[in-house]
Amino acid sequence: MQNRFRTDGVDRLLVILILMILLIGSLMVYSASYIWAEYKFDDSFYFLKRQLLFAGVGVVAMFIVANVPYFQWIKYRKWIFIGCIVLLIAVLIPGVGMVRGGARSWIGIGAFSIQPAEFMKLGMILFLSGYLVNAQEKLTEFRRGFVPPLLIIVSIFLLIMLQPDLGTGMVFILTSFLLLFVAGARWGHFLILGGFGVLGFLLLIISAPYRINRITAFLDPWQDPLGNGFQIIQSLYAIGPGGLFGVGYGNSLQKYFYLPEPHNDFIFAIIAEELGFIGGFFVIGLFFLFVWRGVLVSLHAPDLFAKLLSIGIVGMIAIQVMINISVVIGLIPVTGITLPFLSYGGSSLTLTLCSVGILLNISKYRK
């Protein structure tokens, strides 16, 4: 690795952006969830208290990780990766993995649980960034350079699909391909891969009837308005009345048991309903600024490992934001992934903040 140049501290604008999005997320989680929380738990603050706990733990972890020199991770990347694989296998074992929403994606006790696939997203970024540092020169060769990491990526993707979790799998595989591209893989390799990818995607859809139903519901949700099309229809019913300025904070109608998961996967619909186009545009603008600062960190990183690691973290978050919002506004079928920093969640929020901690540390060493 090249010599590193350390600046005075972390990118302060990145920190401000993250804390701003977290604050908006906490406010919107409360607004979107207090009706359901009062009904189910007799405590309107139930989800807010847990979200603040997750966010607090995550922010502390973020600042701790931000003080760990990024180049230390390359020593432990293989062990972290192996640990993530063990967790992914363990979640598939009946009695160990917990089934929620038809997917065996969780390991935990009672109300506290972790989602191994979330850990694997960061584990793969760490592993692949270190691997590509040593394999960059032969990456332009299809058989010797491109195929070995591709086999690893596809194998992990299939493990995630056994749960099944298509949303997380999509974020995982797109982030991994982004790293291969940035490291120097050829366009032609991705074209070949694209052909196999389309075939594999069709097989995944055909293999599970509920995925076919999601596709048909996406194309025309009003064919089954009380079934497969219900969620996207209710999301659009939330966004439409929001108009330019929204109906006002706390005044959403769709959160009254119309829109499923209003504080989770579809929280952006409540943002658009209560805060309108202006509020939704402001949130997207904050994410845009976050990605811009993250890309600058990568461009000014002192060595290839730091460049790949930082662009992998930024890419993972950006891809997840684009997929989530695209689902909410009806551009793509429902995938079931959260909106980073904003949606209610435990392992997803904490792991995302830990990932950002690594990005902040890299920003200390920018050239």
Q: Residue 102 has what pLDDT?
A: 66
3-state secondary structure the chain: CCCCCCCCCCCHHHHHHHHHHHHHHHHHHHHHHHHHHHHHHCCCCHHHHHHHHHHHHHHHHHHHHCCCCHHHHHHHHHHHHHHHHHHHHHCCCECCEEEECCEEEEEEECCEEECHHHHHHHHHHHHHHHHHHHHCCCCCCHHHHHHHHHHHHHHHHHHHHCCCCHHHHHHHHHHHHHHHHHHCCCHHHHHHHHHHHHHHHHHHHHHCHHHHHHHHHHHCHHHCCCCCCHHHHHHHHHHHHHCCCCCCCCCCCCCCCCCCCCCCCCHHHHHHHHHHHHHHHHHHHHHHHHHHHHHHHHHCCCCHHHHHHHHHHHHHHHHHHHHHHHHHCCCCCCCCCCCCCCCCCCHHHHHHHHHHHHHHHHHHCCC
pTM, full prediction:
0.91
Give the pLDDT of the chain (367 residues) as one tens digit per residue. 445 666 668 889 999 999 999 999 999 999 999 998 998 888 889 999 999 999 999 999 999 999 999 999 988 999 999 999 999 998 888 877 777 766 777 787 655 678 888 899 999 999 999 999 888 778 878 778 888 888 999 899 988 988 878 888 889 999 999 999 888 888 777 777 777 767 766 776 666 666 666 666 666 677 767 767 788 888 888 898 888 899 999 888 888 888 888 888 899 999 999 999 999 999 999 999 999 999 999 999 989 999 999 999 999 999 999 999 998 988 887 777 889 999 987 778 989 999 999 999 999 987 6
Q: Residue 4 has what pLDDT?
A: 63
| Domain residue limits, the chain | 12-364
Q: Residue 145 has what pLDDT?
A: 80
Q: Residue 2 has what pLDDT?
A: 47
Q: Residue 277 has what pLDDT?
A: 93
Q: Residue 204 has what pLDDT?
A: 65
Q: Residue 323 has what pLDDT?
A: 93
Q: Residue 70 has what pLDDT?
A: 92
Q: Residue 8 has what pLDDT?
A: 64
